Structure 1
């Protein structure tokens, strides 16, 4: 089905449901949850999926997996065309139980594009049923991509992370964080890594890239932005940006300001 609002999905019948939507740059979908798990695929465009535990960048031709019942919001950074597949938890117990960004194989991409005009309810053994079944199998085997900014479980540490993510600064040091949180450097370092799975320095570098996305889309020069975020040069920023996002800032800028186009 096309153009189904997020709060209408749970009312649709079927063990597996597929929808497609197009959203403009800067569109936001408020925090909500579904009874089914959701595969949210970006045919083109870029979005950020947020939950209480972190943020996930979803570049073009990648997908976010959001487990059933998990509250999440979506921020569109570059005009996007999406395909969503909603799967009841009983369909396959082996499907992931955590939010993640996954790689989309050429086979899964074609299957997802096919879902746009499939009927809501598919008879067992029919072509739509086989397409849905194969998508579920592809989800199960899809690689996990390191495109997340995890938040710690510790409420004070998580609050400090959200504050930094809203406005990263190269002048804020690990000692500043330790002082603000009344922790020793050793305790902070150990707790931060155990709760985020990342070193403090690596987390801050990724947070800076996340924060750069809307600023790039707003037209800020790459060199100015790179220096503002603490990179020695525009080329150093570009290298890290490409490593995380999968494309250079120049291509991201072109996508942000170019017209949306249909991919299927």
Structure 2
């Protein structure tokens, strides 16, 4: 099915409903949730997914796993999507948290094919075998480090949100501890408890995730690196590769 809402198809008597949708640049899907789990794949463009627990950036040819009943907002930046809506009883073992996942060439072709299947596909025929293979492939995917966890403590959350608006590689845990009027040791413990990461790890992850959106908009690596406070594009690219596994110039070009 294409360019229709899962709300109209949710009670289809099949474990998986596949829908393809094209979105205009900058289209925002306000916060909502689904009864089924959702695998949201972007064939083109970049998606920004937000929940109360964090933010995820999904480059083209990757996907985001959204468990059932998780409220989420999605900003579409030139995206053509393929979505699988999966009954909770048929969910693959991807857990109960949102995550960005890799998409193999086989899975990509299966997703493209799935949206053209009949809504009430033959469960025992070729179409049912295709859907079952898709679910098997989902169980083999790997999680990508494109999640920015957000803390619950209001004052710390405010600092994190401000950083995401204007990343700065020179900001230090000492500066944040001073702003919160706590010791550095207390800050480091609080930050890890609230985000599951050290401050430096979080700062680097945030820079990578924010950079992906700007790269998708066609901005130069040099401009992004300087805006984020890096001394050179090479220093930024080294950090980006260490965190994301690929240099910024390649990350949006492959489905790896």
Do the two structures share a fold, i.e. TM-score over 0.5? yes
Report the more deviating stretch, 166-175 or 217-226: 217-226
User: Residue in 2 aligned with 1:158?
Assistant: 157
* Preserved contact between residue 48 and residue 56 of structure 1 (Cα < 8 Å): yes
Structure 2 CA distance for aligned equivalents of residues 61 and 253 of structure 1: 8
User: Residue in 1 aligned with 2:33?
Assistant: 33
Residue-by-residue CA offset, 1:3-58 (whole Å, 9 max, x unaligned)? 12465454655321100112233222211110000011122322221111111121
1:249 to partner: Cα distance: 4.7
Structure 2 CA distance for aligned equivalents of residues 222 and 229 of structure 1: 11
User: Residue in 2 aligned with 1:62?
Assistant: 62
User: Residue in 1 aligned with 2:211?
Assistant: 212
SS at match of 2:80: strand
Structure 2 CA distance for aligned equivalents of residues 87 and 209 of structure 1: 30
* Preserved contact between residue 38 and residue 66 of structure 1 (Cα < 8 Å): yes
C-alpha spacing 1:253/1:150, structure 2 compared with 1 (3 Å): closer
1:67 to partner: Cα distance: 0.2
1:61 to partner: Cα distance: 1.9
How many pairs does the alignment contain? 254
Unmatched 5+ residue regions in structure 1? Answer: 256-264
Structure 2 CA distance for aligned equivalents of residues 7 and 122 of structure 1: 19
Residue-by-residue CA offset, 1:179-218 (whole Å, 9 max, x unaligned)? 3323321121122123322221121122223333444555
Structure 1 CA distance for aligned equivalents of residues 8 and 31 of structure 2: 14
Matches within 5 A, 1:243-254: 249=248
User: Residue in 2 aligned with 1:140?
Assistant: 139
* Preserved contact between residue 63 and residue 101 of structure 2 (Cα < 8 Å): yes
Give me the CA root mean square deviation. 2.7
Report the TM-score, using the length of structure 2 for normalisation: 0.86
Matches within 5 A, 1:65-144: 65-77=65-77, 79-92=78-91, 94-144=93-143
Q: Moved runs in structure 1, 4+ residues, more than 6 A?
A: 251-255
Residue-by-residue CA offset, 1:54-76 (whole Å, 9 max, x unaligned)? 11121222111000000111122
Residue-by-residue CA offset, 1:212-250 (whole Å, 9 max, x unaligned)? 344455565543331221111022223434555666555
